[in-house]
Amino acid sequence: MTKRFENKVVVITGGSDGIGLATAKLFAIEGAHVYITGRRQELLAEAVQEIGHGAVGVQGDVTNAADVARLYEQIGRAHQKVDVVFANAGKYALVPLEEIDDAHFAATFDANVKGMVFTVQKAMPLMSAGGTIVLNGSIAGSKGFPGQSLYNASKAAVRSFARSWTIDLKERGIRVNVVSPGGTETRLIRSYLDTQPEVEAALNKSVPLGRMAEPNEVARAVLFLASSESSFVAGHELFVDGGVAAV
């Protein structure tokens, strides 16, 4: 394992589980000072122990601007900089069009859109040339999956942010890209699929590579986009989906 992120300060929202946790582990192994956020303190503390390497957990909700500001204030006092932001926190909801109400709309767009804005916006005072931002999108932003139009639209907004912020931040030398996973075998998805074997079979059949992604496979893509290895990649959406979006 290389040390591409030696002494870099890396922020990962939603780092208590799934893709966020897998990514935090890899950054830590590669020498980064890792800060993760999560809403549930107990799960956050467990994640910090699992990551090791001096990782720090800061409890908070990305939909709350004050919580996000508090995160960066703590990092600013300790390091005076942020090198990498992985804006990973989000919410998935399966809500048919006829059932959407104000609460559904607010919950999805607050977590996936408003939270993304605060996460990036409030990092800006600590970021400088060479900094990188990776947004967690989804193939749902490019596909018309049924029964989840709110989620699909929120992830399309994430893709749009990467385009706009690439232009907004080009003079500052900060790159922005999107990683867009397909179905990924997180703990929560596995607990659901274990009760729905027919759903898992259909999902795997829909993927050209015949299976879901492992969280580490998405995490490695995030590290590539955050590293100097992708130094001429900006405003890009990298699908990590076994070929679903491309084929």
Residues designated as active site: 151
Angle of helix 149-168 versus helix 102-109 axis, rounded to 10: 40
Would you call 15 helix, strand, or coil by DSSP?
Answer: coil
User: Is residue 62 a contact partner of residue 72, using CB atoms and an 8 Å limit?
Assistant: no
**Torsion angles phi and psi, residue 206, rounded to 5:** -80, -10
Sign, CA dihedral 175-118-55-74, equals positive
Sign, CA dihedral 128-34-215-155, equals negative
Collect all residues with Cβ–Cβ distance below 8 Å to 135 and sequence separation of at least 6.
87, 116, 120, 158, 161, 162, 176, 177, 178, 179
C-alpha span between 190 and 194 (Å, rounded):
6
**Planar angle of CA 37, 27, 187, nearest 5 degrees:** 60
